[in-house]
Amino acid sequence: MKTRVYLGAAAAALIVGPAMADYEVSFNLDGPGWNSGGAGSVYVANLSGNLSSMFVDVQFTNDGGWTWAGDMHIGITDPNGNSLQFGGYDYDDGSPNAGDFPSSWDSSTSGVYSHGASLAPVLGGSGDWTFTFTDGYSSGAATDNWNGIVNMEGLTLVPAPGALALLGLAGLAGRRRRR
């Protein structure tokens, strides 16, 4: 079963923050509702830009399973329907493979893992972007989990239409007539 989370402008602004030029996705792969072999969490956000690289920072916890930190699979789909996948072990979502985690992630040891990667093909567009995080090992244990943040470089949050209207009204209210 997949968990689908839609990030509205207010929630996404809390994650992104007003001064950030890139978009961060916070994800959580643990507990009931997901297990190995491609089931996971799906996040959708209204973004704009060209995604050329990402930085992954994850806390991997092995609670007695045989899964490795590098078994985490990341799927990314842009608003035009173009996709790529990164990482995983034996799970393939059918998208072009953009790379894998370094060999230091081939470990069942719990801990913090970090990795930056350039992505090819470069995805781009303005609209709903979809990010999927799964256990990419078909025989992985449901006792293992990943919690972390992925910084998607080159993507920015598109303000909701209501927020744009409020900004426009604020501009009109602040305008003074010259004499």
With b meaning 16 or more CB within 10 Å and e meaning fewer, what string describes 3-16? Answer: beeebebeebbebb
* Tens digits of residue pLDDT in 47-61: 999 999 999 999 999
- Written as six digits, the tokens of 146 are 């990943």
Per-residue tokens: 114: 């970090």
User: For residue 42, what are the CA distances in angstroms to 32, 45, 73, 98, 148?
Assistant: 15, 10, 12, 19, 14
Q: Give the chain's residues under pLDDT 50.
A: 1-20, 32-33, 163-166, 169, 172-173
Tokens describing residue 21: 């030029």
Residue 17 CB neighbours (<10 A)? 10
Q: What is the DSSP letter of 142?
A: T
Q: Is the peptide bond before 159 cis (omega within 30 degrees of 0)?
A: no
pLDDT of 13 reads 38
Model confidence pLDDT, tens digit, residues 110-132: 999 999 999 977 899 999 999 99
Domains and CATH numbers, the chain: 3-174 (2.60.120)
Find the largest Cα–Cα distance for the chain: 76
Query: What is residue 161's predicted lDDT score, i.e. its pLDDT?
Result: 73
Q: Would you state the pLDDT for residue 179?
A: 55
